[in-house]
Structure 1
Amino acid sequence: MITLWVLYLVVITAASAATTVNSQTVTGSGTATTAAVEKLLKVTVSNHWSGGFQGEFCIQITQELSSWRAHLTFDQPLNTLEVWVADLAETKQGGKEFILVNKPWNSVEHIGDKLCVTFIGHGQGDIQPTATVYIEGMTAAVITRQTFGPDYTGTSKSKYEYYVSATQNCTKYNYDDILRKSILFYEAQRSGKLPGNNRIPWRGDSGLEDGSDVGLDLTGGWYDAGDHVKFGFPMAYSTAILTMGLLQWKDAYQTSRQLDHMYSCIKWPLDYFIKAHNNTNELYVQVGDGKADHNFWGRPEDMDMARPSYKIDASHPGSDVAGETCAAFAAGYLAFKDKDPKYAATLKQHATELYEFGMKYQGVYTDTITAAVGFYKSGNTTDELCWSALWMYMITNETKYLTEAEKLFQPGPAWGLSWDDTTPLNQVLLYKLTKKDIYKQAVIDTMADWMPGGSVPYTPKGLAWRSQWGSLRYSANMAMVALMAAEVGINEKKYRDWAMGQIHYALGDTGFSYVIGVGDKYPTHPHHRAASCPWPPAPCSPEEVNRPEPSTHTLYGGLVGGPGKNDEYKDVRDNYVSNEVATDYNAGFQSAVAGRLIIQ
């Protein structure tokens, strides 16, 4: 294992080769080679438009810092530079050099931390400058490779940069950075009053009147996708899946220095669900009207349409969404029980009440919440009730819950894992908790259906393609299932290899990454209102949908829907089938990345 800390730059650019300054770049197909670097690294910034450009640098800290000063120098003068996580202390060289100093809350940086700074530059015309950056008094080492031998597919690769941390072997993809960016995606989806350490500079407070129509505070939570409705069912599923990944692969978040951010990530929707479960047998499951929302193309901060609140209760049951939200609470309890016991106890109480509510008053939530029918219509309640029973058993160790889950067992092959179907993970958990062969066989049957030779077709380039709408979501979800199955001892190598192939397809094995901000080529026109809107006070209107330029803001970490059955894909903003993002798209994907990071 290589144990060098690396100073590196995340480059927002179309260029593919790594470039170092004051060091030599080493090529070859053998082992990685180190080269000394004295403070400075060359950066290429892009995502430019007339009069401006956007960039980001991430520096891995190589020595203990109680404060820091970063020198960001461009090859041409700028009129202004906007930075949000640092203060601009000084401008030199006629607008070419900018000295950035820490904010009070990020002054202390430890060895292994990553200091990431996003900036917007303004100048004359269609500027596309280059830049260098360094932190005063800090040196590092860089490991690069520009030509490689065969990878695991047997295909020769070139011009990949290897990033190395003290706890991770060389891999084709920088999983640490991918986890970081996926968490940033969830921060970009936040509704409500944003915290003082908000890391998404183009997002502000929004939806501050949510719940006022029913006399409640229903602020917070996540916006669902490229729109601004808060759909409780996929939000609860996403929270449960993300938290399950954290519980299984906590080491991945620790080694990538993202653990605190991950706790904040899942706490945001959990806090919202506490508000939404305002009475024992009552749960608010949607805020906003999908049709009205989809007729508005603008910033969430500028919404002025009515945002009605919808609930399930004893007279209008929804045991599917109650069960899913129960699972999110229960998983949250396990995540926080040592970190924050008081908060965890609150989550456990909500989980218990929702489980009993869902079991006692059974029904499909979209039978009464018709506003959700055209967006997230539920198929049945069996899988969610089984799912919630399994989580209740895991937080109580009371056999009555496991007995109920076994009654609700659905054998394989399962269609797939999604916000509306947790059957594959139910099968894995039932085997993990009982070690019964019937559940192991169900897992094997489900995975056999998804692997080559099963009923799920494959694209020419190797994606397990279950459905057109969000094709990558399903393959990424099943990659997580495969890794969870391997964790309980089922076909470990086979399932891990398959999962890696599906995740690496999404990350760029075809030459194009479907994760925004990852790799050299990725979507720049996602179907996402907030990211597409210009900086205020410029207005945002439906004209942004067809604007040919890239979105003004980079929606880091967002996994887009994905290609068609022949790997065809168009990066256009109005293609919501293939180019929208959603909170449930990233959930299984992020968890699978965490699982792959640990076993590298």
Structure 2
Amino acid sequence: MRLTTVVVVVVLLLCSAVVGGESGSKHDYADALSKSILFFEGQRSGRLPSNQRMNWRRDSGLSDGHELGADLVGGYYDAGDNIKFGFPMAFSTTVLAWSVLEFGDLMGEEEGNAKDAVRWATDYLLKATNVSDKVFVQVGDPDTDHNCWERPEDMDTPRTVYIVDKDHPGSEVAAETAAALAAASIIFNVTDPPYALILVQRAIKVFDFADRYQGSYNDSLGGAVCPFYCDFNGYEDELLWAAAWLYKATHNKYYWNYLMNNLHTLKSNAKFHGGINGGESFGEFGWDNKHAGLNVLFSNIFLLFLQELPMTDDGSNPFHTYADKFVCTVLPESPTRSVNYSQGGLLFKQGGSNMQHTTALSFLLIVYARVLAGAGKVVQCGNIVATQSRLIEVAKGQVDYILGDNPLGMSYMVGFGTKFPQRIHHRGSSLPSLTQHPAHIACKGGTPYYLTPSPNPNLLIGAVVGGPNATDGYPDSRPFAEESEPTTYINAPLVGLLAYFKSHS
């Protein structure tokens, strides 16, 4: 390495200390980990088990699917509403399983709770895929639900069931469901082999359905999914994402060949212009876009199973190349950065629920840092060299911001620390529990609770809200849903991050 490059790196590291988490603050990552997993119990739908710890919640959605003769009881509400959206639920399940797979050995006694959180989702996804060439992808009419403010235990809005099949395809949601089942199968291989086998066999069938009958659920279901969880990015990345997880779960070269034969679609679909430096962006990962996640995941698979894999023509690893590009879109000092950072150091992208980007991209940084360590490599972003430790430093800065190292000095995780959001955009949390108010609260009966400036009566422990705005301001108000609403897909990657920093603090 040239001396000038070293000097540039050192100077930039010093200048970006606020983003890298050099505040000196210490957080109880073990406590945050426990709470981040507990949050999922607050999102449960269905008949709650005897060991339910979020005890202000009660059974809900017990007739879901019955009008069609199907059992669709269970699963998760995705955010602060009472809809079971299959697309983000499946993605949250995939990433939560990945968190356990990657960092489960660092979780201690919380690994069992994390696996329980995954299993609550996969039990439901097995029900949703129980009929060949059909996936039940959503329960609840979103327009009607969003017009009400009522507890899930009280909901009297239509529990409409939405389906994709060969005549009404939904490759993105079906493929993401296959990815979730495949990823989960890996974490249960040792502790529950029969269940793991059921999961992977179902994943194979659902992927086959998604691939044979290609099409977007945007077109098949229209207003039921758009604009709520409309697929803006196309379904090709989900097909590749599912194939990657199926290869990791089965080592079947069919899925490797599927990836290599369709890799061109990944590059051609990286059409994200408008980052702060323009150009293509490989720094996208979330319920809609799997590009960065796929590249980080498979760069590791490539190293682990190199002897089993047929090589590319030039013997290269294309996933490493694209994963490096991801790092360069996120690294604060990179000349090709395509995300913003607030004055206080928060990774920020335009659109709602910003913390989903903060946690997901930080999770990938940690996973890829481990890949780099195993390969003995660094990332070159122009004249900037990013080491494994720098990726970890940036990710830690984001986690510490969430837990309290920010201009407002508050934690954005409910119940963590002494100052945290009190008025989150969440129906169950904001309305009195059945113990406090046994009488039914109708659709509009909850409106006064929505509008009151009083704190929520029920703590949704572990919930991480959408987060502050681009200037580090946070209104702590239910009507400001982009900032104050928690989601499962914010917490799912955070579980893995907290497990890592619990052991590497």
The equivalent of 2:382 in structure 1 is none
Q: Secondary structure at the match of 2:468?
A: coil
1:414 Cα deviation after fit:
1.5
What CA distance in whole angstroms lies between the structure 1 residues aligned with 2:350 and 2:492?
A: 18
Give the alignment partner of residue 541 of structure 1, picking from 417, 426, 446: 446
The equivalent of 2:282 in structure 1 is 414
1:432 Cα deviation after fit:
1.6
Largest Rg, 1 or 2? 1
What CA distance in whole angstroms lies between the structure 2 residues aligned with 1:202 and 1:419?
A: 29
1:154 Cα deviation after fit:
5.2
The equivalent of 1:515 in structure 2 is 413
Matched-pair contact (CA < 8 Å) for 2:21–2:400 = no
The equivalent of 2:486 in structure 1 is 581
Q: Deviations over 1:211-238 (max 9, x none)?
A: 0121111000001110000000000000
Q: Secondary structure at the match of 2:137?
A: strand
Segments of 4+ in structure 1 off by > 3 A? 150-157
Query: TM-score by structure 2 length?
Result: 0.83
**Which amino acid in the other structure matches residue 496 of structure 1?**
I
The equivalent of 1:267 in structure 2 is 119
The equivalent of 2:375 in structure 1 is none
Matched-pair contact (CA < 8 Å) for 2:20–2:394 = no
The equivalent of 2:296 in structure 1 is 428
Segments of structure 1 that go 5 or more residues without pairing to the other structure are: 1-149, 158-171
What CA distance in whole angstroms lies between the structure 2 residues aligned with 1:487 and 1:551?
A: 40
What CA distance in whole angstroms lies between the structure 2 residues aligned with 1:455 and 1:401?
A: 31
Does the C-alpha gap of structure 1 residues 488 and 303 become closer, same or farther in structure 2, counting only changes over 3 Å? same
For residues 19-168 of structure 1, the aligned pairs below 5 Å read: 153=21, 155=23
What CA distance in whole angstroms lies between the structure 2 residues aligned with 1:212 and 1:156?
A: 54
What CA distance in whole angstroms lies between the structure 2 residues aligned with 1:553 and 1:267?
A: 25
1:598 Cα deviation after fit:
3.2
More strand by share: 1
Segments of structure 2 that go 5 or more residues without pairing to the other structure are: 1-17, 268-279, 304-315, 373-377, 379-386
The equivalent of 2:270 in structure 1 is none
Q: Deviations over 1:424-477 (max 9, x none)?
A: 111112222225443212111111111214121110011111124111210111
Does the C-alpha gap of structure 1 residues 351 and 151 become closer, same or farther in structure 2, counting only changes over 3 Å? closer
Give the alignment partner of residue 478 of structure 1, picking from 361, 371, 375: 361
2:474 aligned with 1:569: yes
The equivalent of 1:287 in structure 2 is 139
**Which amino acid in the other structure matches residue 369 of structure 2?**
A
The equivalent of 1:307 in structure 2 is 159
Give the alignment partner of residue 385 of structure 1, picking from 211, 222, 239: 239
Matched-pair contact (CA < 8 Å) for 2:20–2:397 = no
Give the alignment partner of residue 184 of structure 1, picking from 38, 44, 52: 38
The equivalent of 1:298 in structure 2 is 150
Q: Deviations over 1:117-174 (max 9, x none)?
A: xxxxxxxxxxxxxxxxxxxxxxxxxxxxxxxxx99855476xxxxxxxxxxxxxx111
What CA distance in whole angstroms lies between the structure 2 residues aligned with 1:301 and 1:156?
A: 44
**Which amino acid in the other structure matches residue 228 of structure 1?**
N
What CA distance in whole angstroms lies between the structure 2 residues aligned with 1:433 and 1:343?
A: 23
Matched-pair contact (CA < 8 Å) for 2:78–2:89 = yes
Q: Deviations over 1:508-563 (max 9, x none)?
A: 10111111111121100000000011122264611111111110011111010011
1:501 Cα deviation after fit:
0.6
1:290 Cα deviation after fit:
0.5
1:569 Cα deviation after fit:
1.2
1:282 Cα deviation after fit:
0.5
What CA distance in whole angstroms lies between the structure 1 residues aligned with 2:20 and 2:158?
A: 53
The equivalent of 1:222 in structure 2 is 76
Q: Matched residues, percent identical? A: 37
1:384 Cα deviation after fit:
0.6
Matched-pair contact (CA < 8 Å) for 1:413–1:442 = no
What CA distance in whole angstroms lies between the structure 1 residues aligned with 2:21 and 2:148?
A: 45
Give the alignment partner of residue 206 of structure 1, picking from 22, 36, 60: 60
Matched-pair contact (CA < 8 Å) for 1:207–1:219 = yes
Does the C-alpha gap of structure 1 residues 506 and 361 become closer, same or farther in structure 2, counting only changes over 3 Å? same
Give the alignment partner of residue 505 of structure 1, picking from 386, 397, 401: 401
**Which amino acid in the other structure matches residue 550 of structure 1?**
P
The equivalent of 1:495 in structure 2 is 391
1:296 Cα deviation after fit:
1.6
2:461 aligned with 1:553: no
Give the alignment partner of residue 329 of structure 2, picking from 449, 453, 460: 449
Does the C-alpha gap of structure 1 residues 597 and 155 become closer, same or farther in structure 2, counting only changes over 3 Å? closer
2:439 aligned with 1:439: no
More helix by share: 2
Matched-pair contact (CA < 8 Å) for 1:330–1:392 = yes
Q: Secondary structure at the match of 2:228?
A: helix
What CA distance in whole angstroms lies between the structure 2 residues aligned with 1:153 and 1:501?
A: 4
Q: Secondary structure at the match of 2:347?
A: coil
What CA distance in whole angstroms lies between the structure 2 residues aligned with 1:290 and 1:155?
A: 42
2:412 aligned with 1:529: no
Does the C-alpha gap of structure 1 residues 151 and 467 become closer, same or farther in structure 2, counting only changes over 3 Å? closer
What CA distance in whole angstroms lies between the structure 1 residues aligned with 2:22 and 2:257?
A: 47
Matched-pair contact (CA < 8 Å) for 1:514–1:560 = yes
For residues 458-469 of structure 1, the aligned pairs below 5 Å read: 458-469=341-352
The equivalent of 2:248 in structure 1 is 394
Matched-pair contact (CA < 8 Å) for 1:562–1:569 = yes
**Which amino acid in the other structure matches residue 569 of structure 1?**
Y
Does the C-alpha gap of structure 1 residues 317 and 548 become closer, same or farther in structure 2, counting only changes over 3 Å? same
**Which amino acid in the other structure matches residue 333 of structure 1?**
S
What CA distance in whole angstroms lies between the structure 2 residues aligned with 1:224 and 1:439?
A: 30
What CA distance in whole angstroms lies between the structure 2 residues aligned with 1:406 and 1:571?
A: 47
2:183 aligned with 1:331: yes
Matched-pair contact (CA < 8 Å) for 2:362–2:395 = yes
Q: Secondary structure at the match of 2:343?
A: coil
What CA distance in whole angstroms lies between the structure 2 residues aligned with 1:542 and 1:530?
A: 13
What CA distance in whole angstroms lies between the structure 2 residues aligned with 1:156 and 1:211?
A: 51
Q: Secondary structure at the match of 2:76?
A: coil
What CA distance in whole angstroms lies between the structure 1 residues aligned with 2:260 and 2:36?
A: 34
What CA distance in whole angstroms lies between the structure 2 residues aligned with 1:154 and 1:496?
A: 12
**Which amino acid in the other structure matches residue 220 of structure 1?**
G
Matched-pair contact (CA < 8 Å) for 1:468–1:563 = no
What CA distance in whole angstroms lies between the structure 1 residues aligned with 2:456 and 2:291?
A: 37
**Which amino acid in the other structure matches residue 251 of structure 2?**
N
What CA distance in whole angstroms lies between the structure 2 residues aligned with 1:213 and 1:155?
A: 55
The equivalent of 1:593 in structure 2 is 498
| Bigger shift: residues 394-403 or 551-560 | 394-403
Does the C-alpha gap of structure 1 residues 479 and 346 become closer, same or farther in structure 2, counting only changes over 3 Å? same
Matched-pair contact (CA < 8 Å) for 1:470–1:561 = yes
Does the C-alpha gap of structure 1 residues 439 and 153 become closer, same or farther in structure 2, counting only changes over 3 Å? closer
Matched-pair contact (CA < 8 Å) for 1:218–1:275 = yes
**Which amino acid in the other structure matches residue 504 of structure 2?**
I
What CA distance in whole angstroms lies between the structure 2 residues aligned with 1:588 and 1:523?
A: 20
